[in-house]
Structure 1
């Protein structure tokens, strides 16, 4: 599958998963410009989506950095959704979501992240929406 097609397919897939878990109207951003989130409809979060058969830790760090820069520009929290080959989707987000909201980018570096299932991230994101409205 070509890289661009694989990316679009992955963005649609993760948007559907998030929508199923949260009830939010999440969609793939059709017209993306440099610095735009890959998905729209996730309150308070700026999402980057990557599919790569052999993603190494260095790739994940780089992709998360991209998400963090985009989130800072949009005044949102960064989240990276990625999937290796036929593996499950994973999410990487700031470990201290409350601190990231209150103190900005200091807490959004890769060294301050946690990684978990899409379900775990969705629970944190839903809780964040309630606490920070």
Structure 2
């Protein structure tokens, strides 16, 4: 990955952390030292967050990023949440539909076809409803 891509990715992670912190009133921050299977952001318990700030986001790429996000979430025992922002577009949240119906965390529920796509605001409403926010003090 080139320097420009890493810079754009880091900038996207900081931007998303700020937006989520404002929306949730939580201490959401970028994970500075990332290792394989680490989520990109910290501060929202029960969620493994993957952030992609890209030039474009074709559906095939989003499906590939979703699989990466699911693998990270399974390693930590958390729910996957993928946030994507293409140039000149708003942030979009992709997350498992099982959250809405209370399904068990089985592999079938984590396939891309069983995801919801929403705005940041809708995803944050779901997180608040589930009570998985670590409120900043």
Q: Is the TM-score greater than 0.5?
A: yes
Q: Tell me which residue corresponds to 1:124.
A: 126
Structure 1 partner of 2:74 = 72
How big is the shift at 1:95? 1.1
Q: What is the match of residue 104 of structure 1?
A: 106
Tell me the equivalent position of 2:53: 51
State the alpha-carbon separation in 2 of the partners of residues 78 and 59 from structure 1. 16
TM-score between both structures, scaled by the size of structure 2: 0.89
Task: Please state how far the C-alpha of 1:26 moved relative to its aligned partner.
Answer: 0.5
- Matched with 1:113 is 115
Cα-to-partner distance string for 1:43-83 (whole Å, 9 max, x where unaligned): 11000000111110000001111111110111100000000
Equivalent position to 2:10, from 8, 11, 14: 8
What secondary structure is seen at the aligned counterpart in 2 of 1:103?
coil
**In structure 1, which of residues 25, 37, 60 is the aligned counterpart of residue 27 of structure 2?**
25
Question: What's the CA shift for 1:85?
Answer: 0.4
CA offset at residue 103 of structure 1? Answer: 3.0
Structure scoring higher RCO (CA < 8 A, sep ≥ 6) equals: 2
Flag as ranges the 4+ runs of structure 1 deviating above 4 A. Answer: none
3-state SS of 1:2 partner: helix
Which whole-Å CA distance do the structure 2 matches of 1:103 and 1:96 have between them? 8
Mapped partners of 2:31, 2:14: distance in 1: 9
Q: Between Structure 1 and Structure 2, which shows a larger proportion of helix residues?
A: 1
- SS across alignment from 2:38: coil
What does residue 82 of structure 1 align with? 84
Normalization by structure 1: what TM-score? 0.91
User: Which 5+ residue runs of structure 2 have no aligned equivalent?
Assistant: 133-137
